Chains A and B, each alone.
Chain A
Amino acid sequence: KAGVTQTPRYLIKTRGQQVTLSCSPISGHRSVSWYQQTPGQGLQFLFEYFSETQRNKGNFPGRFSGRQFSNSRSEMNVSTLELGDSALYLCASSLLRDRGSEQYFGPGTRLTVT
């Protein structure tokens, strides 16, 4: 099976702009989670979607939002970009909804905000 894919892989944006990142999970996986990775804060959970419903949300401002489509592909959006939003954004897909199932990460989208 193909792994988790993310597009674009690299992105440069200016403060105040907005950005949309895309994630395609492993075929058959219906749970998609998003994480932000920075040198200072490490890996932090953003949100999780299962069957087009947001199940959990991390401690991030409302500028961060996401959605999931019927084919399980997911997008996350960051509006009014700030310099501190520069990070590697990773998505992970899981087969199961509960029971803490194995999560497989995509290669990430590296976002640079100037």
Chain B
Amino acid sequence: GENVEQHPSTLSVQEGDSAVIKCTYSDSASNYFPWYKQELGKRPQLIIDIRSNVGEKKDQRIAVTLNKTAKHFSLHITETQPEDSAVYFCAASKGNAGNMLTFGGGTRLMVKP
């Protein structure tokens, strides 16, 4: 089955700096890669996603890049703010297998003011 590895497990940055979280996946048939943000005690929230026919996607301060050949994808957050502090999860899915998501282990991002 699919295996998704995520790193780093913790990341501390100064407010205003950029943060990068990286994930690798094992199944070349995976074609949908969402990122979720989970604040303490709250539900995972979809923040951005990318499909295998796209190499990069941006939404304001957040961007995701995908390298299908290397089977890795990354989340980039620019101009970090304290409210960006949370646990971020990457995931992978094969569209023809329904909506089953395989998640990475999560990255705890701490943005210091």
A interface residues, Cβ below 8 angstroms from B: 31, 33, 35, 42-45, 48, 50, 55-56, 58-59, 90, 92, 94, 96-108
Collect the chain B residues with CB atoms within 8 Å of residue A102's CB: 34, 46, 49
Q: Are A48 and B100 in contact (CB under 8 A)?
A: yes
**Is B8 on the interface with A (CB-CB < 8 A)?**
no
Please give me the residue from chain A that is nearest to B106 by CB atom.
A42
Q: Are A100 and B43 in contact (CB under 8 A)?
A: no
Q: Are B98 and A107 in contact (CB under 8 A)?
A: no
Count, chain B residues at interface, CB 8 A: 28
Q: Are B99 and A42 in contact (CB under 8 A)?
A: no
Complex Cα distance A31/B99, Å?
8
Collect the chain B residues with CB atoms within 8 Å of residue A107's CB: 42-43
Please give me the residue from chain B that is nearest to A106 by CB atom.
B43
Q: Are B46 and A55 in contact (CB under 8 A)?
A: no
Q: Are B34 and A55 in contact (CB under 8 A)?
A: no
Instruction: Please give 7 more A-B residue pairs, beta carbons under 8 A apart, in addition to A100-B32, A107-B43.
Output: A43-B91, A50-B98, A92-B99, A97-B98, A98-B98, A100-B51, A100-B94
**Is B60 on the interface with A (CB-CB < 8 A)?**
no
**Is B31 on the interface with A (CB-CB < 8 A)?**
yes
**Is B70 on the interface with A (CB-CB < 8 A)?**
no
